[in-house]
Amino acid sequence: MQAERSAAGAAASEAIVEARGVKKRFGRLEVLKGITMDVRRGEVAVLIGPSGSGKSTFLRCINHLERINGGTLRVRGHLVGYRERDGKLHELRESEIAQQRRGIGMVFQRFNLFPHMTVLENLCEAPIHVAGVRPAQARATALDLLERVGLPDKVNAYPGKLSGGQQQRVAIARALAMNPELMLFDEPTSALDPELVGDVLEVMKQLAEDGMTMVVVTHEMGFAREVGDYLAFMDGGVIVEEGRPADVLGNPQEPRTQAFLSKVL
């Protein structure tokens, strides 16, 4: 019994994202100045902070859309973009990077659906053409996912006929269609009309409750408090303050965090 419990505990605490002193420069501008953060399996990590603080860049590093200049970054135990062999680091080829990326779903502020494809085609595209899933299987999974995001009746609609909130829920379903172990969200509700935000947050909350590991950049403090396990306030490329969302939001210690929260809360 005891052994069982500790084994389960070990599995639950497996780090999916392990960032150690991650640095990123664009030319002479150092945008990330040493980000250290763990996101464990099943956890929801929320990143907040002013525009330009490096939140999107950090997400893009996790997904290897940007190459880091310092520190180490592991996703599911693997160094992002490199292989370790004989104590040396070897850069991965593009095809290997694509392979690493496959386990990560990303949802952006803008929905990025393929406008000339139906919802079903959007959801089946990568599973069939990238992952080699059989069409019938891809279709069945897509229908399940549309059910999950509350849009089963939109299966044959084109994105242009959907509201922004519906498009974003389709974008979430499309990311899930590749069966990711980690989902990254970059301000998924910032471009939406206020009345459409709730449905998208509800889908994300459900996903979190189902155990998905998530890193979420958002200005939705209610979501952060309710769904987040961990929250980091970033400013100027560093984590200024971090901890349980209720603690950081309810009782911020750093003047910069206090100033930011007094504007957004």
Residues that bind ligand ADP (CB under 6 A): 26, 29, 31, 49, 51-57
248 binds, among ligand ADP, Mg ion, none (CB under 5 to 8 A by kind): none
**Sign of the alpha-carbon dihedral angle for 249, 232, 181, 142:** positive
Binds 188, which of Mg ion, ligand ADP, none (CB < 5 to 8 A, cut-off by type)? Answer: none
Using CB positions, name the residue nearest to Mg ion. 56
Partner from ligand ADP, Mg ion, none binding residue 81, C-beta < 5-8 Å depending on class: none
**Residues interacting with Mg ion, by CB under 5 A?**
56
How near is the Cβ of 26 to ligand ADP at its closest, in Å?
3
**Shorter beta-carbon distance to ligand ADP: residue 57 or 100:** 57
Task: Tell the smallest beta-carbon distance from residue 220 to ligand ADP (Å).
Answer: 15
Concatenated DSSP letters of 25-86: EETTEEEEEEEEEEEETT-EEEEE--TTSSHHHHHHHHTTSS--SEEEEEETTEETTEEEET
From the list Mg ion, ligand ADP, none, partner contacted by residue 100 (C-beta under 5 to 8 A by kind): none
CB of 252 to ligand ADP, least distance (A): 18
Burial of 249 (0-12, 13-18, 19+ CB in 10 A): buried
Minimum separation from the CB atom of position 239 to Mg ion (A): 15
Among Mg ion, ligand ADP, none, residue 57 binds (CB under 5-8 Å by kind): ligand ADP
Query: Least separation, in Å, of the C-beta of 158 and Mg ion?
Result: 28
Beta carbons within 10 angstroms of residue 131's beta carbon: 12
The backbone torsions φ and ψ at residue 29, rounded to the nearest 5 degrees and listed phi first, read -90, 115
Centre a 10 Å sphere on the Cβ of residue 10 and count the other Cβ atoms it contains: 9
